[in-house]
Amino acid sequence: MIEKKFTIAVLPGDGIGPEVVAEAVKVLKAVGSIHNITFELKYADMGAVAIDKHSVPLPKDTMQICMEADAVLLGAIGDPKYDDPSLTVRPEQGLLSLRKALGLFCNVRPVRAYDALLELSPLKREYVSGADLVIYRELTGGIYFGEQGRKHNNTYAYDVCGYHIHEIERIVKLAFEAARLRRSKVTLVDKANVLESSRLWREVFNTMKKEYTDVNTDYVLVDNAAMQMIQNPSSFDVIVTSNIFGDIISDEASVICGSLGMLPSASLGEEHGLFEPVHGSYPSAAGKNIANPLAAILSAALMLRHLGVEAGALQIEEAVAHCMEESFLTEDLCIDKSKACSCSEVGEAVATALRVPVQ
Catalytic positions: 144, 191, 223, 247, 251
Judged by beta carbon, residue 252 or residue 318, the one nearer ligand IPM is 252
Judged by beta carbon, residue 266 or residue 316, the one nearer ligand IPM is 266
Which does residue 255 touch among ligand IPM, Mn ion, none (CB within 5 to 8 A, set by kind)?
Answer: none
* Alpha carbon distance 248, 143 (integer Å): 13
Task: State the minimum distance, in angstroms, from the CB of residue 77 to ligand IPM.
Answer: 6
CA angle centred on 128, ends 341 and 132, rounded to 5°: 85
Judged by beta carbon, residue 265 or residue 315, the one nearer ligand IPM is 265
Task: State the minimum distance, in angstroms, from the CB of residue 286 to ligand IPM.
Answer: 16
To the nearest 10 degrees (0 to 180), the angle between helices 17-35 and 343-355 is 10
* Alpha carbon distance 354, 95 (integer Å): 31
Which does residue 19 touch among ligand IPM, Mn ion, none (CB within 5 to 8 A, set by kind)?
Answer: none
CA nearest neighbour of 135 among 267, 34, 4:
267
Which amino acid appears at position 265 of this protein? S
Task: State the minimum distance, in angstroms, from the CB of residue 20 to ligand IPM.
Answer: 15
Binding flag, residue 348, Mn ion (CB under 5 A): no
Judged by beta carbon, residue 95 or residue 133, the one nearer ligand IPM is 95
Element housing 151 (H / E): strand 148-151
Which does residue 77 touch among Mn ion, ligand IPM, none (CB within 5 to 8 A, set by kind)?
Answer: ligand IPM
Task: Tell me the Cα Rg of the chain.
Answer: 20
Half-sphere exposure at residue 325, Cβ-oriented, CA atoms within 13 angstroms: 8
Contact 290, 340 (CB under 8 A): yes
Number of residues that bind Mn ion (CB under 5 A): 1
CA nearest neighbour of 241 among 204, 296, 295:
204
Task: State the minimum distance, in angstroms, from the CB of residue 218 to ligand IPM.
Answer: 25
Task: State the minimum distance, in angstroms, from the CB of residue 295 to ligand IPM.
Answer: 12
Which does residue 297 touch among Mn ion, ligand IPM, none (CB within 5 to 8 A, set by kind)?
Answer: none
Judged by beta carbon, residue 233 or residue 277, the one nearer ligand IPM is 277
Interaction with Mn ion in 226-265: which residues (CB under 5 A)?
247
Contact 287, 18 (CB under 8 A): no
- The residue ranges that bind ligand IPM (CB under 6 A) are 77, 92, 95-96, 247
Residue 2 vs residues 5, 17, 181, 249: alpha-carbon distances, Å: 10, 33, 28, 42
Measured at CB, which residue is nearest to Mn ion? 247
Judged by beta carbon, residue 245 or residue 328, the one nearer ligand IPM is 245
Helix, strand, coil percent values for the chain (each to nearest 5)? 50, 20, 30
Task: State the minimum distance, in angstroms, from the CB of residue 185 to Mn ion.
Answer: 24
Binding site for Mn ion (CB under 5 A): 247
